[in-house]
Amino acid sequence: MRRAHGRRCEPCEGLKGPIGAKEAKALAAELKGWRLIGGKTLRQELVMKDFMAAVRFINAVARAAEAEGHHPDLHLTGYRNLAVELTTHSIGGLSINDFIMAEKITALQEREARPVRRGHVAAV
């Protein structure tokens, strides 16, 4: 199994296809606060302190994602409910890049954002 910890995202052109369900499940189990959706998406739901805290966190994620060349879907609803989704669109599923980016986003939370709680967010 490939580990995501401490790695940088690989160029999408070099990815051969989505990782298998067993590997995805094992990698997801190593992530704090993330869950697999349909075997093709990693999702984390956060409730931030307020609207500006959510926007600051979105901006921090945007900077980190741009540096990695791997961009999550970010959904802000109800002024402070934030859902982050990762998938590798070019291969139609999950790649090691999604797990690498999830770790980087989790580290950002612990360093900068400190969400009020993780859990259910209004449907997006």
Instruction: Say what the pLDDT of residue 17 is.
Output: 84
pTM flag (> 0.95): no
Q: Is 42 exposed, middle or buried (0-12, 13-18, 19+ CB in 10 A)?
A: buried
Q: What is the reported pLDDT for 111?
A: 80
* Domains detected in the chain: 15-118 (3.30.1360.20)
Render each residue's pLDDT in the chain as its tens digit; 124 residues.
455 566 776 667 667 889 999 999 999 999 999 999 999 999 999 999 999 999 999 999 999 999 999 999 999 999 999 999 999 988 989 999 999 999 999 999 888 766 665 665 444 3
Output the DSSP codes for 49-90. Answer: SSHHHHHHHHHHHHHHHHHHT---EEEEETTTEEEEEE-BGG
